[in-house]
């Protein structure tokens, strides 16, 4: 689990709780905060745009409770419930929550819960066999099937429900795909997401200046939620 980022969103209708959890997340270098939401409706929007490993959610919230929200998800990230009420503990474990934290949450107790998360991810990734021979993937576009070699892929640009693959030979392929899916499928030691609209090849990065990446003659913006992950991979 070393050097692997855990992507987190926080959901709580109370500002002090959001602030405290955000501070706790910022203290741990293996956590990357991808969103802070006042309610489950805003959290749904974040989950549609981001690949999230962990949800930190309150239970009693307006419109949709934390329990109802987690039950509604088809693909469930790991969950830690953060609440002032003891009575929902059994319900939370029926949803296979990693932990159940009672407010006010001391940092050592928060850290204990995060250690459970990192151990769960470590075991999961250990169990997943890697195809070390594969150095390409196939993309359907324009009624054709294209082979895209990792070595030739400079960066990927997201455009609503489509993405454009920018290749070394100046060729571009636009296909019905999602950056969220690509972020999972592309090898993490070769590619990194730098913005909600861009995934880039580490091999082609020429320089990083401020919040801009120079890559193959292009300047691409770095999103504030992605810079730490980028700089970690460039070390």
Q: For the chain, 235 residues long, give each residue's pLDDT as a single digit of tens.
A: 344 689 999 999 999 999 999 999 999 999 999 999 999 999 999 998 888 999 999 999 988 999 999 999 988 899 999 999 999 988 887 888 999 999 999 999 999 999 999 888 776 665 444 454 678 888 888 888 899 999 999 999 988 778 999 999 878 999 888 888 788 888 888 999 999 899 999 999 999 999 999 998 899 999 988 988 899 888 7
Show Cβ contacts of residue 106 under 8 Å, excluding neighbours closer than 6 positions: none
Question: Under a CB-based contact definition with an 8 Å cutoff, are residues 234 and 228 in contact?
Answer: no
Q: How many domains does the chain have?
A: 2
Verify that 143 and 183 share a domain, yes or no: yes
Question: Is position 147 within any domain?
Answer: yes
* Co-location of 30 and 114 in the same domain: yes
Instruction: Answer with the one of 80, 102, 127 that is the final residue of a domain.
Output: 127
* CB-neighbour burial class of residue 25 (10 A; exposed 0-12, middle 13-18, buried 19+): buried
Q: Are residues 97 and 195 in the same domain?
A: no
Domain boundary among 127, 158, 193: 127
Residue where one domain finishes, among candidates 127, 156, 180: 127
- Does any domain span residue 1? no
At residue 225, the 3 state secondary structure works out as: coil
Q: Are residues 69 and 159 in the same domain?
A: no
Instruction: Kindly state whether residue 50 falls inside one of the protein's structural domains.
Output: yes
Domain housing 87: 6-127
d(CA 179, CA 158): 6
Residue 48, Cβ neighbours under 10 Å: how many?
Answer: 9
**203/152 Cα distance (integer angstroms):** 10
Q: What is the CATH number of the domain that holds 155?
A: 2.40.50.1020
Burial classification of residue 126, based on how many CB atoms lie within 10 Å of its CB (0-12 exposed, 13-18 middle, 19 or more buried): exposed
3-state secondary structure of 61: coil
Distance CA 41, CA 139 (A): 33
């Amino acid at each position: 689990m070393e050097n692997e980022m855990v992507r987190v969103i926080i959901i709580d209708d109370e500002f002090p709780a959001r602030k405290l959890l955000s501070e706790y997340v910022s203290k741990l270098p293996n956590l990357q905060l991808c969103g802070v939401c006042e309610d489950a409706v805003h959290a749904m929007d974040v989950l549609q745009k981001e690949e999230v490993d962990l949800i930190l959610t309150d239970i009693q919230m307006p419109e949709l409770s934390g329990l109802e929200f987690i039950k509604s998800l088809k693909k469930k990230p790991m969950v830690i419930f953060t609440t002032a009420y003891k009575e929902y503990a059994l319900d939370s474990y029926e949803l296979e929550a990693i932990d159940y934290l009672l407010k006010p949450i001391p940092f050592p107790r928060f850290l204990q819960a995060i250690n459970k998360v990192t151990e769960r991810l470590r075991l999961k990734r250990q169990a997943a066999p890697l195809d070390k021979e594969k150095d390409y993937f196939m993309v359907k576009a324009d009624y054709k099937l294209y082979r895209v070699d990792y070595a030739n892929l400079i960066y990927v640009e997201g455009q609503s429900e489509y993405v454009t693959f920018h290749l070394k030979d100046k060729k571009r392929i636009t296909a019905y795909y999602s950056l969220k899916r690509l972020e999972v499928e592309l090898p993490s030691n070769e590619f990194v997401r730098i913005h909600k609209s861009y995934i880039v090849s580490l091999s082609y990065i020429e320089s990083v200046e401020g919040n801009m990446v120079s890559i193959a003659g292009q300047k691409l913006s770095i999103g504030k939620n992605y810079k730490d992950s980028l700089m970690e991979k460039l070390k």
